Amino acid sequence: MQRPRRIGVLVHPTRNLDVPLRLLREWTDDNGIEVVQIVASYPQRPVAAEGEAADCDLIVSIGGDGTTLAALRAGAVVDCPVLGIGCGSLGALANVTVGDVGRALERFSRGDWHARTFPALSIARPDGDTLFALNDLSVVRGGGGQVRLTALVDGTLFVQMAGDGAVVSTPIGTSGYAISAGGPLFLPQVDGFVFTPLPHHGGFAPPLVIAATSELVIEIAGGFAGARVEVDGQVAGVGEGALTITFRPAVATQVSFADQEPLLAGLRRRQILLDSPRLRAEADRDSVNPGAES
């Protein structure tokens, strides 16, 4: 595999990025590679001359999972892989440490990496405009009052509900908004998506796991404050009418390495997954008194 000719960067707007940017510049200067800052809707501060993702051989995100998600969205449109550098704490997407910037770039150049592909949700709207979500789609109330939703799967009614709204997540998206709302956690290799209701007024509507081959339709009727549609955490317009949601495999590509930690290990390290307090207390006690009885 040839070394990249041009690398695009997408950066967090507020974090201190001096060290990872210096390491990136040192490696690219040593190898005669141009660095540009890709144009994206994600807020950034200027760190390089502007360039287009379509003209890059690799996009490097520097920040956290949100920054990497924005880079993956930009890369998906032009079929460009993304390398996620975590500044602060490693996440599910920003999976390379600052100290490993040069090594990760060198491994990419040698072809010592594998493509981690992400599916997306294709979202058809009444106006004919189609969106895509790599993480999740949220339909939420626009202010006071409730949003009324009707959810149908392959034409069959699942639920009618009035409340705060709902989240529809891809497998990687289930580790964010969806589990905070009580939804299930998907492992990355699972094909499918999940509809997770937010708090609602009465009735019963559990999170629903939907097959990759199925179609979800959400009919929206906002209260007096209306409804809002958010795609990957960004406002995507006013919610009204019906949204038709389908699963699209392998939409975005991330640079990954065989020695990186699995998703579950990362969620445990970040204490998103937590053991029972009783078992943690017993483990702490046993570490102090190894011979103590239960």
Active site residues: 65
CB 10, CB 74: distance < 8 Å: yes
Residues 6+ apart with CB under 8 A from 254: 68, 72, 81, 82, 83, 84, 93, 95, 115, 116, 117, 118
Using CA atoms, how far residue 79 sits from 167, 182, 293, in Å, is 27, 33, 58
Strand, coil or helix: 290: coil
* Burial of 170 (C-beta count, 10 Å sphere; 0-12/13-18/19+): buried
CA distance 91 to 84: 9
Length of the chain: 294
